[in-house]
Amino acid sequence: MTDTPPQTRIQARNRAAILEAALEVFAARGFRGATLDRIAQAAGLSKPNLLYYFRSKEALHLAILQDLLELWLAPLRAMDPEGEPRAQIMGYVRKKLEMSRDHPRESRLFANEILQGAPRARPVLEGELKALVDEKAAVISGWSAAGRIGPVDPHHLIFSIWALTQHYADFEVQVRAIMGDTDPYPGAEAWLERVFGAILDIPHHGP
């Protein structure tokens, strides 16, 4: 996804297997909790063989993180300033919840990175991410000022979308412990529709 140096069939297969295995292990145990032995085993390789494809644990983690950040930022990028405000925001919410449901490991890997102080992702956060968020915040701000959605703080609105959607992936264990065997997602979808509907509503006056 980043660059594509000359790849043999074997390389393509093994790199993919390693990235998949590493995503699994890093997400479940964090950077320091993950071991190369475990990742290699999950990928069906020996540890030295894994290190033939990725120079170091660090490099492997970074490769995953970079791919991940693209996936993560795409839906926000897709928010269209020319579109209908409510549809654009609700679409982003829906997409983000889908990603929590379909890519919980990616979400947890990212959460791990941030929780530990973003030692590897910090530059991207302060650069690319901040720029993108500021840009979209300005758009939302415009919509709000034009009265096309209710009064909102655009930055905190975006934080809220992240928090509410990612919660279902990152804290899945807790959610499941409380909801029992019930699948939380149909409920969550309806609930977030309701929540952001209320937030974006243009307040009426009087009874």
Partner DNA sequence: GACCGATTTGACCGCTCGGTCAAAATCACG
Partner DNA sequence: CGTGATTTTGACCGAGCGGTCAAATCGGTC
Residue ranges that bind its own copies, judged by CB under 8 A: 28-33, 108, 111-112, 114-118, 122, 125-126, 129-130, 133-134, 150-153, 155-157, 159-160, 162-164, 166-168, 170-171, 173-175, 177-180, 187-188, 190-191, 194-195, 198-199, 201, 204, 207
Nearer to DNA among residue 56 and residue 182 (C-beta): 56
**The residue to which tokens 């990235």 are assigned:** 19
Among 4, 10, 146, 198, binds DNA (CB under 7 A): 10
The answer to whether residue 35 forms part of the interface with DNA (CB under 7 A) is yes
Among 1, 16, 49, 78, binds DNA (CB under 7 A): 49
How many other C-beta atoms lie within 10 A of the C-beta of residue 154? 18
* Pair 49, 17: CB distance under 8 Å: no
Nearer to its own copies among residue 17 and residue 111 (C-beta): 111
* Pair 179, 127: CB distance under 8 Å: no
Residue 31: CB partners within 8 Å, gap ≥ 6?
A: 57, 61, 112, 113, 116
Site for DNA in 56-95 (CB under 7 A): 56-58
Distance CA 90, CA 27 (A): 28
